Amino acid sequence: MRTLTALCAIGVCCAVISGADWPTDGGNPQRTNWQRDETILRPDNVGNLKILWKLKFDNAPRQMHALLPPLIIGQVRTPSGPKQIALETGVSDNLFAIDVDKGEVVWKKHLEYPPPARNGGATDPLCPGGLTATPVIGPADATGVRTAYVLAGNGQLHFIDLATGDETASPVQFGWPNGKSYALNMWGSVIFTTTSQGCAGNPNQMWAIDVNDSLKKVMTFNPKSGGLWGRTGAAIDSNGIAWAPTGDGTYDLPTQRYGNGLIGAKVEGNELKFKDYYIPSNWAFLLKKDLDMQVTPAIFDYKGRELMVVGSKECRVYLLDPKSAGGADHQTPLYRTQQLCNEELNFAGTGIWGGMASWEDSKGVRWVLVPFWGPSHSEFKVPVSYGPVKRGAVVALKVETLNGKLQLTPAWMSQDMDHAEPPVVANGVVYAYGSGEDTTQSYADRGLNDSSPLRIKASTHATLFALDAETGKTLFSSGDQITSFVHFGGLSIANGRVYLGTFDSTLYSFGLSGK
């Protein structure tokens, strides 16, 4: 028995040490938020989740931003031996490498630079400045080094050895200081990001840089819109086309304006070339109501065909073919759902925000997971639900073919969550969280007044949920164990642990005792 236990322990240890990675925001370049390699957490044991450790970092929040989703590498050769490392990033240009087995910081690094001349407004949550793009970790090089690509708040891209925190090359400029870049993505040797809201004068556009390019040429494409603010930046399809939503703005082909849509661009040679786009047919109405297209798409395979889903604050989900997004007129999706939420057509506090998720079950069923804020739409009917949804929920849709046409069929809607954020899915379990964030931007008595202090004061705390991915049934809730809220953070999952960072710069690691 003792031998068996020892062998099991070794086996688990090996599984962890050589296990899964989460090297980029959303888990992969396609932003599916699907951890395919999870083996420890299962529907039958996830009810026993507990906080394994939590670490409070010395990282000052900026506006409402604090921690970005951690990146996980299952096996990193560090000077003190192989470790599973989580790279946590703080908005105040701080990096923390954590030995996740011990819950200890291995190294930390502060990216120093003179304060940029241009900043956002004093209380403006949109332009916090600082490090706003989740880094990305590249594959191991010939020597086994995993490089973390980190975009500092001054717009410089750093190359950092994940094992030591050392810079492996001189940083290069990849954007404007305090320009509010979104999560980095990597395809081959090319790193992508997007920018929005014109923070500190930064143009709203897609950016790319080839880290193998000796000149480190910065390549851009500007859709002339209000901002590409999908939470996890661009998603990349199998052809290397990076897709990003364009926020609000005008659609006007003669002047090459692609607002309120989704654009795709690809690096060819040393240029980022515009390839394709999709514009909802009601874009003018969306613009008028400020219902941005602001959700990073998720790209996946369905019966041998690559598909893409994207959404907006209007709370519809669009199913698209990356080979021809929107068809010949660029306005005809393969399928468009009804509104899942946002019956009031509000620009704040309702709709789909951030990103989505997609996974395939053992029977080959392809699922799409959609988080949303606010009440569900009164006309949205779903076969399985868990009480009234007033503050937000996760909806599961199945990709199906009916009479030769693709559709997204509602399967279940989760219990009510306070501002449901993009979920992650692993091994038959959906992990979702209500951020507890106050998202009020306009008030009955004062009108528009989007103010970080007001919102921080009115925010509560995040709650982590584990749901049965087949039914949406709640298997675990963290209740009030998490004591702060989350603004534009996100979940990460690998090797039996689920991570979430909060506004008070605390990183929580949930898992199973003894695992």
Partner 1 sequence: MIPMRKAFVLAALLSVCAALALAQSRGGNWPTYGGDAQRSGWEGPDTRIVKETVKDLQLLFKVKLESQTKGARPLMPPLIMGRLISYRGFKELAFVGSNADIVYAIDADLGTIFWQKHLEYSTREPQVTASTPDCPGGMSAIPTMSVPGGAAPARGAGAPPARGGPAVPVSPFIAGTASVYAISSDGRIHRLNVSTGDDVVQPVQVLPANSKTSNLMMVNNVIYAVTSPACNLTQNAVWAVDLTGDAPKATSYALNAGEVAGSAGPVIGNDGTVYVQTSGRLLALSAGNLALKGYFMLADSSSDAAPLVFQFKNRELIATAGKGGRIYLLDSTSLGTNHETPLYQTMPMSVSGGLSTWQDADGTRWILAPVWGRNGTAPNGSIAAFKVEEQAQKTVLTPAWVSRDMNSPLPPVIASGVVFALSAGEFTRDRPKSGTRATLYALDAASGKELYSSRNLIGAPASLAGMTVSSGRVYFSTLDGTFYAFGMYMEH
CA distance 474 to 429: 10
Indicate which single residue of 110, 273, 288, 390 sits in contact with partner 1 (rule: CB under 8 A).
288
Among the listed ranges 278-286, 376-384, 409-417, 424-432, the one in contact with partner 1 (CB under 8 A) is 278-286
Q: Which residues contact 33 (CB under 8 A, 6 or more apart)?
A: 26, 27, 298, 355, 356, 357, 358, 369, 422, 423, 424, 425, 491
Using CB under 8 A as the binding rule, whether residue 390 contacts partner 1 is answered as no
Using CB under 8 A as the binding rule, whether residue 458 contacts partner 1 is answered as no
Strand blocks (E) in 63-130: 67-78, 81-90, 94-99, 104-110
Could you tell me which of 38, 21, 24, 26 has the C-alpha nearest to residue 75? 21
Indicate which single residue of 45, 156, 164, 281 sits in contact with partner 1 (rule: CB under 8 A).
281
Among the listed ranges 26-34, 54-62, 168-176, 247-255, the one in contact with partner 1 (CB under 8 A) is 247-255
Rounded least distance, CB 386 to partner 1, Å: 27
Q: Which residues contact 473 (CB under 8 A, 6 or more apart)?
A: 386, 467
Phi-psi label, residue 440: left if phi above 0, alpha if psi -120 to 50, beta otherwise:
beta
> 414 phi and psi, to 5 degrees?
-70, 180
Cβ(210)–Cβ(270) below 8 Å: yes
Rounded least distance, CB 205 to partner 1, Å: 14
Cβ atoms < 10 Å from Cβ of 432: 27
229: its two tokens: 């603010």
Using CB under 8 A as the binding rule, whether residue 326 contacts partner 1 is answered as no
Rounded least distance, CB 194 to partner 1, Å: 15
CA dihedral 171, 176, 180, 182 (to 10 degrees): -50
Among the listed ranges 51-59, 128-136, 181-189, 249-257, the one in contact with partner 1 (CB under 8 A) is 249-257
Indicate which single residue of 69, 74, 125, 177 sits in contact with partner 1 (rule: CB under 8 A).
125
Among the listed ranges 20-28, 70-78, 341-349, 408-416, the one in contact with partner 1 (CB under 8 A) is 341-349
Among the listed ranges 19-27, 37-45, 444-452, 498-506, the one in contact with partner 1 (CB under 8 A) is 444-452
Which residues partner with 311 through β-bridges?
Answer: 317
Using CB under 8 A as the binding rule, whether residue 453 contacts partner 1 is answered as no
Among the listed ranges 22-30, 93-101, 383-391, 447-455, the one in contact with partner 1 (CB under 8 A) is 447-455
Using CB under 8 A as the binding rule, whether residue 439 contacts partner 1 is answered as yes
Cβ(347)–Cβ(291) below 8 Å: yes
Write each residue from 395 to 424 as x if it is in contact with partner 1 (CB under 8 A), else as -, in one continuous string.
Answer: ------------------------------
Indicate which single residue of 168, 256, 285, 361 sits in contact with partner 1 (rule: CB under 8 A).
285
CA distance 491 to 431: 8
Cα distances (Å, whole numbers) of residue 34 to 210, 360, 368: 26, 9, 10
Rounded least distance, CB 281 to partner 1, Å: 6
Sign of the alpha-carbon dihedral angle for 452, 200, 205, 34:
negative
Within positions 82 to 101, which residues make up the interface with partner 1, using CB under 8 A? none
Indicate which single residue of 70, 120, 155, 489 sits in contact with partner 1 (rule: CB under 8 A).
120
CA distance 256 to 276: 12
Within positions 291 to 320, which residues make up the interface with partner 1, using CB under 8 A? 292, 294
Indicate which single residue of 129, 153, 259, 489 sits in contact with partner 1 (rule: CB under 8 A).
259
Q: What is the binding site for partner 1 (CB under 8 A)?
A: 120-121, 124-127, 197-198, 226-227, 229, 248-250, 252, 259, 281-282, 284-285, 287-290, 292, 294, 344-348, 353, 439-451
